[in-house]
Each structure stands twice: as C-alpha cells, then as structure tokens.
Amino acid sequence: MSIAELRASSPSIIMIGSHPGVIQSMLDYDFMIGRAEPSVIAVIVQGRKLERYFWGTDEVIIPAVPMLSDLKKELADKCTVAVNVQSARRVLSSTKEAVAKLPNLKLISIFAEQTPETHSLELRTLAIKKNVLIVGPSSVGVLLPGTMKIGAIGGTQYPQLVEAKIAKAGKVAVISTSGGMVNELIHIATGSGQGVSFAIALGGDRFPVTDPMTAMLLAQNDELTERIIYFGELGGTDEYEIARLIDEGKLTKPIIAYVAGVVAELFDTPPQFGHAKALAQTDDESATAKKDRLRKSGVIVCDHLGEIADKLDNGDTTMSKEQNVPGIGERKKRAIISHISGDKDGEVQLLGHELLETIERNSIASLVLSLLLGKQVESKRAIDFTDLVLRMLVDHGPYVSGAVNTIITARAGRDLVSGLTAGLLTIGPRFGGAINEASRGWVDGATSGVSAKEFVDSYVKQGGIIAGIGHKKYRIDMPDPRVEALMQFSGNSNGDRYLKFARSVEEITTTKKGNLILNIDGAIGAVMLDILESELGYKPDELRELADIEFFNALFVLSRSIGFTAHYLDQRRNDEGLFRLDTDDVRYIA
C-alpha cells in the first residue's frame, strides 16, 4: 500500500463501532474540503438503524447495522477505509472480519488501547498478507490533507480543523508514536507554511501493526513529501532501525526528529510512561542513546519541541498559510426526521413534492402504499394489489371483537375518536394481527432452507398456532373465495416463492384437519411479499424489517378503521341508547 494509492482513492468509510465525536469530526472535514457527500457510509453498532450527524448546518443520516455481515453488498464493495473503535478484546476478531468481508479495503485505523500484543502481531501478519495498511492499535488515525481524515487526528471540533490549516496537502510528513503529539506536530508543520503531506499516528504499543520504519518508507516513496517530522519515545529499538534504513540509502529525505523521555534517566529505576512501549529497560533504549544514534545517521534531532519549528523555517515556505474553507453557523439537531412529509418555503411537501402535485399523481391505494413504505411507488401491480386488499379488509361484519367494541362505545354516547380507538385497541395476535406474523413466518421459512414439514413441526413442538393458517368456516374442499380473488396476483417474477412456501405449509396442515387452510391473512402476506420483492426490489432482510415495524398490520388497521367508523356512525344514527347484556347472556358462577 502507498500513500499515493490512498490519496488517489475517494474514501468510503465504515465505522466498526460508534464514536459520535470522531464521526462528526470526519464529516466536518469532508464538508470543509468541499466533498459532495459524507465519506462515512455506514456504522456497525447494535440497537439502532441509523445515526444522525451534521453536514455543515444541515443533517445527514448514516445507516447503521448490528453486524458487518448485515451490511448491504453494495456498501461492503464500496468501502475502502474502516475505523475500528471497538474495545480492545474485540479488535482482533472485528478487524479480521473487516479484511475478509470488505473486498476493496485499503486502510484500517484501530482506536482501542490495551490490545493484547499477540493480537497486534497477528494483525501485522494479516496486513502484509492482504496488502492492507492497518494503523494502531491506540491510534488517533491518519490524515491526508485534501483527501481524508481518518479518526480523531487533526482535531474533533470544526474550529480546530480550520485552525490547523489542513484543507490542502503540503510537503511535510508527520509520523508520531503519540496520538496526543501528532496534532502538535501538524500545527508546527502548517504554521511553518510548508503544510502536511500526510500525518499518521502509529500508537504507543510495543508492537504497532504499522511500525515507524514502515511509515518512514511510506513517506520516502510519497512524491508530495519533501521532509519528515518524527516523534518517538524512550523504549524499544525503532530509532536504530530508522538509522539503519538511512545508512543503507533507503531513506534519503530530510528527517527532523524528537525523542521524548530524557527525564526518565534521572530515576534509579526506569519508570513506565503513558504508553506501553515507553519504558527503557536497557541503556540503548533510553531517549539519549536513541537520539545520539539518529544524529550519527544525519537526522536533525531536536532537544525540545520548539526547535522543530526553527528547523522547518529553513525549508521552502511557498505553500500559502491561508486556506479558504467554508464556515459553519449555528447547528440545531432536529427533534424528528421524516421521509413522509414536511414544509418547504411555507408549502406542505408530501413524498418529495408539493401536496397537490403528489395527490394528483396518486390514487388512494398508491398514496397509501407509498406513504407506508416511505417512498413513491410506481408499480401498477403493487398498487392494484394494495387497492384490492384495502377493499377486502374494510369490514367483516358487526360480530368481530373490534366492531363490537366500537358499537358498544358509540351506544355509550362517546365521541367518534373514542369509538374508533376502542375498536382499534382490540387488534392484536388474536384479531387482525395475523397478516404481520404470517408474513414474518413466510419470509423466514422460504429463505432459511427448511422444508414445509420442518416449518410446521417447529410450531407443533412449541404448541403454537401458525399465523395465516386456519378458518372457522372454509375448508380445503370449500375454499375461501377471498383467497381465490387474491390469487389473481400470483405469477410474480420471483417465482412466487413466498406464496409457494405458504401453499406447501397448507398441504401439510390440511392433512391433519380440513379447515387448516391458507386463510385471507396468510394469503395477503404471501402475495404482498412476492410483489414487494418482484416489483419493488425488496430483499429478505428488508421484508423482515417491514414485518418488524408492522407494515403488514398497517394495511389491516387502515382499512378496518373505515369499517369501525361506519359502525360508529350507524349506531349513532340508530341511537338505541346504552348497550347492556340481558341477565340470561351471563352465567354467574359463585
């Protein structure tokens, strides 16, 4: 991997774990350098489906999935960079998974501290084998000015990013074992007028995946880099290896170095500083010894940080110190986000267009389906099926529990909303909620590879009822005409795989009892699944999500609300007074 290759690529970043401050700073950098869209394309995190961040003063939505395996293929293929902010115990497994499942991955930055050394060594072998630049553990990231900011490097607040003058690439590479010091060195480089070609925080572990020597060679081979600033610490022998590369002619660019930790030499027993590597166990690992070795190889070694700026001032300062970047005004996070409707310049917007324009182009069925799915639907087949379902579910008589509750509430003299609500509150697993459960069952059964018999047996073992199967009146030899009407919408391009699975379940259940047929709820769910997949491109995971949010039940609720309202108005017209059961309607058991 080379810096030129990273610089030439347009970064598409996946966050492994969520760190809002880091993510926002990366998006702020994208906005600052004029990128058209955010570089962060997904977040792997449990418990949510999206995360909201600012893009300038507007808001953007970043999709979130619980596991990397749940990521859509197009996003996995698009990803070139990953930032791993998970805990140290999960770094090895999650990084290996990212390398395996993200085919175009070029760079991974690992944020966690205290990663086991054996894990770091294993990741170093993996990085070489797969030609992926893995930085860390304990790294605040990588900066390629004008191209990408990976991690917290450069700052986490927008004013810090502007003040750092990192919108454009310069001439000085910054390589640091310390995440805290890398930003200081960036400011020194940009303050000199020469700017930063790239900056990398290697992390202070004993065995960073990318070691200082590798980073030096990246700078040596980078055509934009003319000079190198290096920050090292006591402990380890990296500086001796850097000197060897210089002596062998593999490093020829000027290096300005600072090695921290001279104060440790005042103690009788070597003290452990903040980083795992910052412990001089021998005289050769002391800061003084390493500084002397670097000087022998021609490195400009500074005894205090202020000298670095003095040494850089001797270089070319033709790069402008002023970098024009957009300002950001007041930010306000919205309380609600909506894909359905809103306001634009005082006009009501519905599904992305002005209200009148939207209603003129939609029938009630297409408007219902589009609103429920949160996007405009154009498929005539999907709209026609929705229309049939809405008409078919509107009312099934005054005998069902929901209608009875509405009727009783109306006769009690309550208002329309109370009557409608009383009916709606009865909808659940025993009344009206079966479409949703049936749909979830058909998706799981048809995509899991289980046979219809195995599917049925799993319900039998649990003592459960299969949603979408069974009817009080209709039987296998006397089919439900409503189900037959729904069958006109079979013959979808996916081979009707959900309807076929439902029918295969019916073949098993009707051998046990003749009335265990595919009922109207099961048929609506199966056909709607086939249409959504065939006509609108929904994938199985997306269909499961629709079941999770009760999309299929929404069709019943909307349609039956009309029936409940009709029953309410009918009772108010009749005005028979308070409903009361006769004494012979109740059997009292003392």
Residue pair 137/205 in contact by the 8 Å Cβ criterion = yes
If phi > 0 it is left, if psi is from -120 to 50 it is alpha, else beta; for residue 557 that is: alpha
Q: Quick one: which of 128, 168, 24, 166 has its CA closest to 83? A: 24
- Cα end-to-end distance, the chain, whole Å: 84
Is beta strand 50-55 parallel, antiparallel or unpaired with respect to 13-16?
A: unpaired
Residue 275 a catalytic site member:
yes
If phi > 0 it is left, if psi is from -120 to 50 it is alpha, else beta; for residue 64 that is: beta
Q: What is the rounded CA–CA span in Å between residue 293 and residue 243?
A: 7
Q: What is the three-class DSSP state of 217?
A: helix
- Catalytic hit among 19, 187, 275, 567: 275
SS3 string, 390-423, reads: HHHCCCCCCCCHHHHHHHHHHHCCCCHHHHHHHH
C-alpha distances in Å from residue 348, one per residue of 66, 336, 359: 35, 16, 12
Residue pair 191/309 in contact by the 8 Å Cβ criterion = yes
Q: What is the rounded CA–CA span in Å between residue 234 and residue 238?
A: 10
Q: What is the rounded CA–CA span in Å between residue 23 and residue 40?
A: 8
CA–CA–CA angle 382, 388, 391 (5° rounding): 140
Residue 174: phi and psi, rounded to 5, are -115, 120
Which stretches of 221-321 are DSSP H helices? 238-247, 287-296, 306-312
Core vs surface per residue 287-312: b (16+ CB within 10 A) or e? bbbbbebbeebebbbbeeeeebeebb
What sign results for the dihedral spanned by CA atoms 580, 585, 589, 590?
A: positive
Structure tokens at 457: 């047996």
Q: What is the rounded CA–CA span in Å between residue 103 and residue 109?
A: 17
C-alpha distances in Å from residue 227, one per residue of 123, 221, 308: 29, 12, 12
**Helix 551-574 to helix 540-548 angle, to the nearest 10 degrees?**
30
Core vs surface per residue 162-183: b (16+ CB within 10 A) or e? bebbbbbbbbbbbbbbbbebbb
Q: What is the rounded CA–CA span in Å between residue 412 and residue 403?
A: 14
**Helix 520-536 to helix 434-448 angle, to the nearest 10 degrees?**
60
Determine which helix (DSSP H) or strand (DSSP E) holds 146, and give its type and residue range: none
- Residues serving a catalytic function are 275
